[in-house]
Structure 1
């Protein structure tokens, strides 16, 4: 099973070195849930940055810039789509008319092929079931409570989705997969399981 993880430095409580240390620690701890690929997404200089590699976390070094305040991450255990092709790994980039977003998924979706037909979504070279969530949000032309609700009601399977929007907010969409959120003084850490988050 994959893992989502990340941090939200909502009061600017963490210096850049500490943020990078936390992110690398979280990624390595959550490697227990997926070693096929590792990736993060964040905003810097007004742009959405996605860094991902088809490597386990202990072979990946994250370095986010000081201005990155909200960082979402993912460790992948492949169920569909070869991890050696970066396009199949999380986080995924989504595009709306005036904005981009990043999406990561922990779980398995069973009806992605069916949805591509019934929702008349374009074929894509991305082979993962998770990408259907990005395509549905792009079809709805919005990233808000209603579009996320519609997407979650369409997909079948197990899921937690994390979605980073252009306002540097993370949306959590939780199905029946675990998600732990720990609040500290000025920042928040989140990840797929509380046990590993405590360990981190």
Structure 2
């Protein structure tokens, strides 16, 4: 489980100081979903800049230069690829016809190795499953609705992708993970859950947003630097066969139609995680799938739930 976040100041109505304050607050609220690494991407002086470190957001100061109005960010919980090797962290750099783009991913992909063979993609030193999305887009040699649709229909797993292009548009490719976008008069902010954004609003004392979007699975959305929205669609995968093979206890979860959380609490207990910790994440808005994903790193789980239980 990770978190996406970002900002588009489409009317250029925010000062640089305010944008930095918003971004730092967003990142710190997003760290409940991942503290292994934090990163941002933005365009400046006709170049894509990516700044990422293997640090939780609370230990990393985000500072964008004057004139930057579109920023894409990510906080990471490691599932594949050691976060201490910065190449494994998000956002990732991609290139198409000499132009750079940045991609960030919330979720887990389980057919990356198969796709690399099937698509005859080059070997890479990046160990993270998410990087296969970058390689598929590079192979398509274009960044548009069709290439994003093709990529989204080839990968298998849980995902939301964000892609920042050279024209300062952010693309959102929505799988079965959450995403929320809040619009204000002149700018927007987004994060993986509405709960995160509500905490940001409270801390920054922002007014209520003028509109809230929570795009659904199968949607592709482009928001350009002027705030204009264009959309497309893709057909999501519906099979969990590979996921079950890799993470066995998921099989029993998806075959069980129980509406309570007894099974989740029982599995958590086996990992040394208390019911209170699980409930804190459920109350925060995390899904059962995301919580089970987190259980593979109990130390990180305790750290994040501790912040929820005792920090507020």
Unaligned runs of 5+ in 2: 201-312
Corresponding residue for residue 145 of structure 1: 145
- Output one character per residue of 1:124-156: Cα deviation in whole Å (capped at 9) or x when no partner: 000000000000000000000000000000000
Corresponding residue for residue 107 of structure 1: 107
Corresponding residue for residue 190 of structure 2: 190
The whole-number CA distance in structure 2 between the counterparts of 1:149 and 1:100 is 19
The root-mean-square deviation of aligned C-alpha atoms, in Å, is: 0.4
Select the structure that is richer in strand: 1
Mapping 1:61-140, distance limit 5 Å: 61-140=61-140
Mapping 1:150-189, distance limit 5 Å: 150-189=150-189
Corresponding residue for residue 19 of structure 1: 19
Unaligned runs of 5+ in 1: none
Corresponding residue for residue 36 of structure 1: 36
Structure 2 SS opposite 1:196: helix
Greater Cα radius of gyration, structure 1 or 2: 2
Structure 2 SS opposite 1:4: strand
The whole-number CA distance in structure 1 between the counterparts of 2:59 and 2:172 is 28
1:2 aligns with 2:2: yes
- Output one character per residue of 1:166-199: Cα deviation in whole Å (capped at 9) or x when no partner: 0000000000100000000100101100011111
TM-score, normalization by structure 2: 0.64
- Following superposition, the deviation at residue 67 of structure 1 comes to 1.2
Structure 2 SS opposite 1:132: helix
- Following superposition, the deviation at residue 98 of structure 1 comes to 2.8
- Following superposition, the deviation at residue 76 of structure 1 comes to 0.1
- Following superposition, the deviation at residue 102 of structure 1 comes to 0.2
The whole-number CA distance in structure 2 between the counterparts of 1:81 and 1:105 is 14
Corresponding residue for residue 273 of structure 2: none
Structure scoring higher RCO (CA < 8 A, sep ≥ 6) equals: 1
The whole-number CA distance in structure 2 between the counterparts of 1:146 and 1:96 is 15
